[in-house]
């Protein structure tokens, strides 16, 4: 059974609309011809993410997201997406968007990495940005389901 989990490391944040975010991730995977098996989304601090960046990627700089794909069965995606809330706060001010919008953008960015999209080359970044915008719009268009 497909699972998406949310965790916090070194931060405290009340994530709203978790079910909607999960549905959105499932829909994104489906649109890309894949299924979610297991995704962990871990919200953390700059310090926590910097330590991961140094330890695992040998990069000594701050970043907003690091995605660790895990072994996939054919047609499925698995992985851990670490997101720095500190970076998102800075980004949201720089890009003049709400923290929630920036968080959604970074979540889908991590999911796109799990789906195999890269962002190291200019052409790859253009594709990634286009996909981010498409899936953010899809999130906004999804019907709201109220549970009783």
Question: pLDDT grade, residue 143 (50/70/90)?
Answer: confident
Residue 147 lies in a domain: no
Residue 148 lies in a domain: no
pLDDT at 11 over 90: yes
90-128: b or e for each residue (b if 16 or more CB lie within 10 Å)?
Answer: ebbeeeeeeeebbbbbbbbbbbbbbbebeeeeeeeeeeb
Residue 59 lies in a domain: yes
pTM of the predicted model, to two decimals? 0.93
Residue 26 lies in a domain: yes
Mean pLDDT for all residues in the chain = 93
Question: pLDDT grade, residue 148 (50/70/90)?
Answer: very low
Domain holding 136: CATH number?
Answer: 3.40.390.30
Residue 78 lies in a domain: yes
Residue 111 lies in a domain: yes
Question: pLDDT grade, residue 145 (50/70/90)?
Answer: low
What is the rounded CA–CA span in Å between residue 4 and residue 78?
A: 10
Model confidence pLDDT, tens digit, residues 71-90: 878 999 999 999 999 999 99
| CB atoms closer than 10 angstroms to residue 131 | 19
Residue 101 lies in a domain: yes
State which residues form the domain around 9: 3-141
In angstroms, what is the C-alpha Rg of the chain?
15
Model confidence pLDDT, tens digit, residues 30-39: 999 999 999 9
Residue 146 lies in a domain: no
User: What is the count of structural domains for the chain?
Assistant: 1
Burial class (CB within 10 angstroms; exposed 0-12, middle 13-18, buried 19+) of 39: buried
Question: pLDDT grade, residue 61 (50/70/90)?
Answer: confident
């Amino acid at each position: 059974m497909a699972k998406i989990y949310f965790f916090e490391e070194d931060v405290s944040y009340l994530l709203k609309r978790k079910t909607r975010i999960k549905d959105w991730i499932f829909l994104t995977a489906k649109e890309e011809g894949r299924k979610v098996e297991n995704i962990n989304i871990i919200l953390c601090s700059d310090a926590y993410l910097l330590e991961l960046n140094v330890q695992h990627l040998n990069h000594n700089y701050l970043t907003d997201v690091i995605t660790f794909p895990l072994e996939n069965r054919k047609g499925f995606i698995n992985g851990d997406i670490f997101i720095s809330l500190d970076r998102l706060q800075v980004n949201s001010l720089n890009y003049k968007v709400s923290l929630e919008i920036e968080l959604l953008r970074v979540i889908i960015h991590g999911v796109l990495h799990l789906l195999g999209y890269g962002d190291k080359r200019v052409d790859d970044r253009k594709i990634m940005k286009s996909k981010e915008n498409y899936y953010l719009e899809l999130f906004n268009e999804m019907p709201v389901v109220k549970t009783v």
